[in-house]
């Protein structure tokens, strides 16, 4: 634990300096990442100023399980937009790469990501250290029989003319293997993330509005167990007053600078 008092360091370059010291002191770090770490890779976030939902509130429906299951037209639109997702061409940026270096240093307890884009693995972070708490867009799942298969094969079916391809095994509705609103998280993933938050001595939350629960609750859980909290995000979050350092420097600069 650090001697820095929560709430004393409201951001900017000072926040970065404190965050760097906390990281240097820490022996066991849990990182929680959100969509903001991947905007420099060309994938828009949801709630930032250029976010998908900020620009088009209708898009939220696609991410809501009940709407997706009930509405064939919405599923057809969802498959078409999956074909054109910027995430397929995205490459890890400096922040993903700096976190892979943190993992290689042995300090990373667990990297819990709300992201579904696979960029932490692409950057070289050991997959066994990663919990994809909201699933992955690189697989599809059947909502009836739970069978999982690679996304790319299903996208080939969409390209070949199937507008809403059904499960090959049971005819059920297919969806990307991501956690939609109204869908339960995978219990084992949530248990693992919660345990990690309660065991670390520093929790570093990067690029998340910390508005999606239960993922965001990892911050108060870590705080409750005595960990230092660092939040790196362009906008305010509900948990800023709990943090020992709040860093407003853009993530692509802040994370490599914190590791140096």
3-state secondary structure 91-126: CCCHHHHHHHHHHHCCCEEEEEECCCCCHHHHCCCC
Annotated active-site residue 134? The verdict is: yes
CB nearer ligand NAD, residue 3 or residue 213: 213
Q: Does 258 bind ligand NAD (CB under 6 A)?
A: no
- Other beta carbons less than 10 A from residue 245's beta carbon: 28
Q: Of the candidates 11, 15, 34, 92, which one interacts with ligand NAD according to CB under 6 A?
A: 34
Helices (H), the chain: 12-25, 52-55, 65-70, 72-83, 94-104, 119-122, 151-159, 187-199, 218-224, 251-259
Segment lying near ligand NAD (by CB under 6 A), choices 31-39, 158-166, 197-205, 218-226: 31-39
Q: Does 13 bind ligand NAD (CB under 6 A)?
A: no
> Would you say 20 and 257 are in contact if contact means Cβ atoms under 8 Å apart?
yes
Binding string, residues 84-123; x marks residues near ligand NAD by CB under 6 A: ------------------------------xxxx------
Q: Of the candidates 75, 207, 218, 258, which one interacts with ligand NAD according to CB under 6 A?
A: 207
Q: Does 132 bind ligand NAD (CB under 6 A)?
A: no
Q: Choose, from 134, 138, 223, 244, the residue flagged as catalytic.
A: 134
Q: Are strands 174-178 and 135-142 parallel, antiparallel or unpaired?
A: antiparallel
Q: Does 134 bind ligand NAD (CB under 6 A)?
A: yes
Helices (H), 179-250: 187-199, 218-224
Q: Does 136 bind ligand NAD (CB under 6 A)?
A: no
> Would you say 44 and 51 are in contact if contact means Cβ atoms under 8 Å apart?
yes
CB nearer ligand NAD, residue 143 or residue 234: 234
Torsion of CA 177, 115, 47, 90, to 10 degrees: -100
Region 219-248 residues binding ligand NAD, contact defined as CB under 6 A: 233-235
DSSP 8-state secondary structure symbol assigned to residue 247: E
Q: Is the dihedral of CA 249, 197, 36, 123 positive or negative?
A: positive
Instruction: Report the residue number whose CB is nearest to ligand NAD.
Output: 36
Q: Of the candidates 22, 31, 35, 203, which one interacts with ligand NAD according to CB under 6 A?
A: 35
CB nearer ligand NAD, residue 77 or residue 168: 77
By CB atoms closer than 10 A (0-12, 13-18, 19+), residue 58 is exposed
Catalytic positions? 134
Residues that bind ligand NAD (CB under 6 A): 34-36, 38-40, 43, 45-48, 51, 114-117, 134, 207-209, 211-212, 233-235, 250-252
């Amino acid at each position: 634990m650090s001697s820095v008092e929560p709430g004393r360091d409201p951001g900017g370059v000072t926040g970065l300096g404190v965050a760097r010291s906390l990281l240097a002191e820490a022996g066991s770090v849990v990182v929680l990442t959100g969509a903001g770490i991947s905007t420099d890779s060309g994938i828009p976030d949801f709630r930032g100023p250029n976010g998908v939902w900020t620009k088009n509130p209708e898009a939220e429906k696609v991410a809501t399980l009940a709407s997706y299951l009930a509405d064939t037209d919405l599923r057809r639109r969802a498959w078409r937009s999956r074909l054109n997702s910027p995430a397929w061409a995205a490459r890890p940026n400096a922040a993903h790469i700096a976190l892979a270096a943190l993992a290689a240093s042995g300090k990373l307890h667990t990297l819990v990501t709300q992201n579904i884009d696979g960029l932490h693995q692409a950057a070289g972070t050991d997959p066994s250290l990663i919990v994809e708490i909201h699933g992955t867009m690189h697989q599809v799942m059947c909502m009836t029989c739970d069978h999982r298969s690679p996304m790319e094969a299903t996208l080939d079916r969409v390209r070949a003319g199937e507008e809403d391809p059904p499960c090959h095994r049971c005819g059920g509705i297919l969806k990307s293997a991501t956690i939609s609103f109204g869908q339960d998280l995978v219990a084992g993933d949530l248990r693992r993330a919660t345990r990690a938050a309660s065991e670390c001595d520093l929790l570093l939350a990067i690029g998340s509005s910390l508005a999606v629960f239960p993922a965001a609750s990892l911050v108060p859980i870590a705080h409750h167990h005595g960990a230092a909290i660092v939040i790196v995000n362009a906008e305010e979050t509900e948990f800023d007053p709990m943090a020992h350092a709040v860093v407003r420097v853009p993530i692509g600069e802040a994370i490599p600078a914190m590791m140096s």
